[in-house]
Structure formats: structure tokens, C-alpha cells
Amino acid sequence: MTTLSFHDVSLRYPARKGASEGQTPLVLDQINLSIETGEFVVVIGRSGSGKTSLLNLAAGFLPPSGGRIAVDGTTVSGPGADRAVVFQDDALYPWLDARDNIAFPLKLRGVPEAVRHTRAQELLDVVGLTDAGRRRISELSGGMRQRVGIARALASDPLFLLLDEPLGALDAMTRTRMQGFLLDVWSKSRAGALLITHSIDEALLLASRVVVLSANPGRLAADIQTGFAAELLGGASVAQVKASPLYKRMHDGLTGLIHSISEDTEAAA
Ligand SMILES: Nc1ncnc2c1ncn2[C@@H]1O[C@H](COP(=O)(O)OP(=O)(O)OP(=O)(O)O)[C@@H](O)[C@H]1O
Ligand SMILES: [Mg+2]
């Protein structure tokens, strides 16, 4: 088991050149959070609460202003193959076909072409795109692109998958299908997942833990264990899970919490 951990992490973005003196606002304040491999942690919070910033810190794209981020005790000082990122706008390379997009992280690591292609084809099978490997990115639908993005993230066998609203741009039906798919792929990968969403349903259906972030500055407002994803993986349908009284209670509870946090921050502003 490996742990990705935030220890008293705070973040301020640097002031822009030529900006007036004084500190920029605190974006994240004293974040303490651990994600273990095999866990699916979903971060939810209103727009601007610092979710993407949190993910960029975990990815090593940004240094924290205070505190420390570590993987099994070793401080994160930049991006690494142990932490793969899936962005909201798939961020694929348009000049490469689906297979070469997936194989790209392996190419960077000097993996021979034949091995790369075999692994990419395996991953195309995993994400249900067996016959789409030679298609250009522009020829794929939004859902297919997201699956290529997820396959590319899986190519380096990461310990942690960091997903920033990966399904946000999809229509409701495709999104529901992709949630099931993501849960399935994750459970087979044994990786730890950190996923950001605005959707309370998505959080409850995918998470083993839901973390709520308050805004201005972003602070952890709640950290809740959930078991609905385990029920889905055990064969329950989404409709069955959503119909349970516990699901409704948790949905109402999270909705109330997010609203009350928003009202608090607006009142303080
Ligand atoms: N590169 C940057 N430079 C300066 N400020 C930034 C930068 N990126 C984000 N911010 C600020 O940090 C705060 C948090 O932004 P962040 O993108 O992390 O929020 P978020 O929770 O992901 O929002 P959303 O749900 O809209 O994606 C915002 O006030 C934003 O303006
Ligand atoms: Mg964001």
C-alpha cells in the first residue's frame, strides 16, 4: 500500500509582475489529506474553492506555499510517472492517433515500439475502444476521447490517478455510463484515485471517501466514508443504489453542507 499525503498544505499563487504590493489571497489553507492506493477519494466544492489547485499540487505541477506533499514519505517535488493526470478537456495530442496518444508516456520512458503498441492495444481493449486505435482524435466523440485520456493515464501503471472533472463535458447518459466504466477500470487497476467533481451524485457513486472543500480559502470541511461504489462493484444497479434511504440521506446531507458553506463564505465576504 502506498500513501499520497498532504501535510498542512497551503497555497498562494505568486503575484503577477507589476501588481501592487501585498500578498495574493490564500487559496488553500492547512490541508491535511491522505489517499491510499485502492481508495477512491472524490473532492467536491463550489467553483473557485481550490479543487484544481489541490490536484495540481498532488500532480507536482505547482509547489505548495507551505507544508508538504509526499508519496510514502518522499516529498513530491515535480510530476512523476507514479501520479497520472486526466484533465477536464481531454488534453490529447491531435497529431497522434488514439493508439499513439495512449502509448506516448511509454515512448517518453524509452519503451520499444512493439511493446508500446501491444500495451496500447491492451488499454484500448480495457476502455472499450478495441477498433479505434488508428483513428485520429478529431474523429472520436467526447466520451471516446475521455476514454483515450484515461487509457493514456493508465499506460504508465500509476500508483495514483488524478482526475479533474473528467466527465464534466459529457451528456447525462454518456456520463452515467462513463462513471460505471471509470469505477470498473479503477477497481482493476488497484491505483488510488483523486477525482474532482461538481456533481453530488457522481461523488456518491464513485467514492470510497467524499471530501468537501470550503472556499476562500479552501479548507477541508468534511471527509466522509461511503459504500455506494462498493455496492455498484458488487453488482447493484445505479437505480437500486439511488433508491436506498441511506443514499437519499447522504445526498441531502451533502447538498445542505455545500449550501451552508457557500452561505458562510458569502456572508464573510
Ligand atoms: N494560475 C493561477 N494564478 C492565480 N490564481 C489562480 C490560478 N489558478 C487558480 N487561481 C485562483 O485560485 C482559486 C482556486 O482556483 P481553482 O481553479 O483551484 O478552483 P476550482 O475549485 O478548481 O474551481 P472550478 O470548480 O471552477 O474548476 C481561484 O480564486 C482562482 O482564481
Ligand atoms: Mg477546477
Tell me which DSSP letter residue 74 carries.
Answer: E
Ligand minimally distant from the alpha carbon of residue 218: 1
Q: What is the pLDDT of residue 269?
A: 56
**CB of 9 within 8 A of CB of 64?**
yes
- DSSP letters for 197-213: ES-HHHHHHH-SEEEEE
Euclidean distance between CA atoms 206 and 36, whole angstroms:
15
* Residue pLDDT tens, the chain, 269 long: 999 999 999 999 988 877 776 788 999 999 999 999 999 999 999 899 999 999 999 999 999 999 999 999 999 999 998 999 998 777 899 999 999 999 999 999 899 999 999 999 999 988 889 999 999 999 998 888 988 998 999 888 899 999 999 888 788 888 888 899 899 889 988 899 999 999 999 999 999 999 999 988 999 999 999 999 999 999 999 999 999 999 999 999 999 999 888 776 666 55
In 52-82, which positions are buried (b, 16+ CB within 10 angstroms) versus exposed (e)?
A: bbbbbbbbbebebbebebebeeeebeeebeb
Q: Which residues have CB less than 5 Å away from ligand 2 (the ion)?
A: 52
Return the residue matching grid coordinates 467514492.
207
Ligand minimally distant from the alpha carbon of residue 25: 1
Q: What is the pLDDT of residue 169?
A: 79
φ, ψ of residue 32 to 5 degrees: the values are: -120, 115
- Residue whose CA lies nearest to ligand 1 atom number 25: 47
What kind of fold does domain 3-82+158-268 have according to CATH? Rossmann fold (3.40.50)
CA-wise closest residue to 218 among 35, 54, 64, 65: 54
Give residue 115 CA to ligand 2 midpoint distance, Å: 35
- For the chain, give every domain's residue range: 3-82+158-268
- DSSP letters for 195-261: EEES-HHHHHHH-SEEEEEETTTBEEEEEEE--HHHHHHTT--HHHHHHSHHHHHHHHHHHHHHHHH
**CB of 56 within 8 A of CB of 8?**
no
Q: What is the pLDDT of residue 264?
A: 66
Give residue 131 CA to ligand 2 midpoint distance, Å: 33
Euclidean distance between CA atoms 34 and 200, whole angstroms:
21
